Amino acid sequence: MMPVNGDTDEEREMEKFKAFKLTEVEKKIRAEFVEVTLDDLDPGDVVLRVAYSSVNYKDALAATGKGKILRRASCIGGIDFSGTVLSSTDPRFAKGDAVLTVGGEYVGVSHDGGYAAYARVPGDYITKVPPGMSLWEAMAFGTAGYTAGIAMVRMEHEGLKPANGPVIVSGATGGVGSIAVSILARLGYHVVALTGKESESDWLKKLGAKEILLRQSLNLEKIKPLDKAMWAGAVDNLGGPVLAWMASTMKENGVIASIGLAASPQLNTWVMPFILRGARLLGINSGDGSADVRETVWRRLASDMKPPLLKEMCRTIPLRELPGVFDDYINAKVTRRTVVDLSE
């Protein structure tokens, strides 16, 4: 146990706290609550009280074992967290700083993550919460929102602007998709939401989608090399045939942000959209967080890219309810971001 100087409530609580741990046992994942102390956590320069974590598709893949996400035998889950620094030997952070981490390659995967009341991490893993954003909002975004933010900034960098034409978003009711819809609408784009959930059409319109396109209405069996040119931009969370269809329907110089693989990790497509229409395919990797990109994206998420309905786009659950939410992510039943409250 780390030395404690007094006997405050916080120090007593720190002696033992609840964590949601993932362990690989005979090629399956055992996901369970355990009691840990600070000394059980992986080493790091910064100790913090976690305020919130969140649930992403990747967290669900990790906790259910449906994807090979864990990079070691056992680890506290949760790829995202926000919280307040309690102590730091890294000069960039001081006691009381509000900090966050999202979408990195280590936290919740090969370094103990955010599904615990306390975390201890190297300073390189965290970033300060930008002015204009609360700890809760940081996790309302989480990896999903940060990734949508990177996609937006990268597409703008490639020249995308509202006057270029409509932008389509697949997996629109998911975490990345719903935040992308909202950000694009707020920035003045004509947004087309591509979804498998007709019942969520009104919700997607409320978020700012001008049109709803049902995935079931697409003919993905036979994708043409070049189809009717419709989209100036595309945000793809599915991969597979949907991404191939998007490529064949891009307008001249259209830009696609490839984010996810919720339908398939494979891509079978034609070169015509790229060499005849100048379409561009941008790979978006939330783990590739140079300090510059991180700072720009978080600053914009706290200001002109903040969705007006961010509160309504999330539900907040206590840590104890976490095990019950993962299957819905795997079965594409989720329509809100899930923020996990670590205060109890």
Interface pattern 104-123 for ligand NAP (x via CB under 6 A): --------------------
Long-range contacts formed by 11-17: CB under 8 A, 24+ apart: 13/117, 14/38, 14/118, 17/116, 17/117, 17/118
Taking the complex as a whole, the smallest distance from the CB of residue 17 to ligand NAP amounts, in Å, to 27
What span, in angstroms and rounded, lies between the C-alpha atoms of 204 and 89? 45
**Count of residues interacting with ligand NAP (CB under 6 A):** 31
Asked if 165 interacts with ligand NAP (CB under 6 A), we say no
What span, in angstroms and rounded, lies between the C-alpha atoms of 135 and 150? 20
Asked if 187 interacts with ligand NAP (CB under 6 A), we say no
Label each residue of 60-107 as H, E or C.
Answer: HHHHHCCCCCCCCCEEECCCCEEEEEEEECCCCCCCCCEEEECCCCCE
Token pair, residue 94, equals 């001081």
Q: From 82-90, 175-183, 271-279, 310-318, give the range in contact with ligand NAP by CB under 6 A.
A: 175-183
Question: Locate tokens 């000394």: which residue?
Answer: 39
Quick one: which of 147, 182, 248, 249 contacts ligand NAP (CB under 6 A)? 147
Taking the complex as a whole, the smallest distance from the CB of residue 193 to ligand NAP amounts, in Å, to 7
* Binding residues for ligand NAP restricted to 63-102, rule: CB under 6 A: none
Asked if 195 interacts with ligand NAP (CB under 6 A), we say yes
What span, in angstroms and rounded, lies between the C-alpha atoms of 160 and 28? 44
Quick one: which of 191, 192, 250, 262 contacts ligand NAP (CB under 6 A)? 262
Nearest residue (beta carbon) to ligand NAP: 174
Quick one: which of 111, 120, 154, 197 contacts ligand NAP (CB under 6 A)? 197
Quick one: which of 140, 181, 256, 284 contacts ligand NAP (CB under 6 A)? 284
Handedness of CA 300, 305, 306, 310 (dihedral sign): negative
Interface pattern 231-260 for ligand NAP (x via CB under 6 A): ------xx--------------------xx
Asked if 189 interacts with ligand NAP (CB under 6 A), we say no
Asked if 103 interacts with ligand NAP (CB under 6 A), we say yes
Handedness of CA 332, 338, 342, 344 (dihedral sign): negative
Quick one: which of 34, 218, 226, 332 contacts ligand NAP (CB under 6 A)? 332
What span, in angstroms and rounded, lies between the C-alpha atoms of 259 and 279? 16
Token pair, residue 46, equals 């910064």
Q: Which residues of 164-189 are buried (b: 16+ CB within 10 A; e: fewer)?
A: bbbbbbbbbbbbbbbbbbbbbbbbeb
Taking the complex as a whole, the smallest distance from the CB of residue 142 to ligand NAP amounts, in Å, to 8
Q: Which residues bind ligand NAP (CB under 6 A)?
A: 56-58, 103, 143-144, 147, 171-177, 195-197, 215, 237-238, 259-263, 284-286, 329, 332, 334
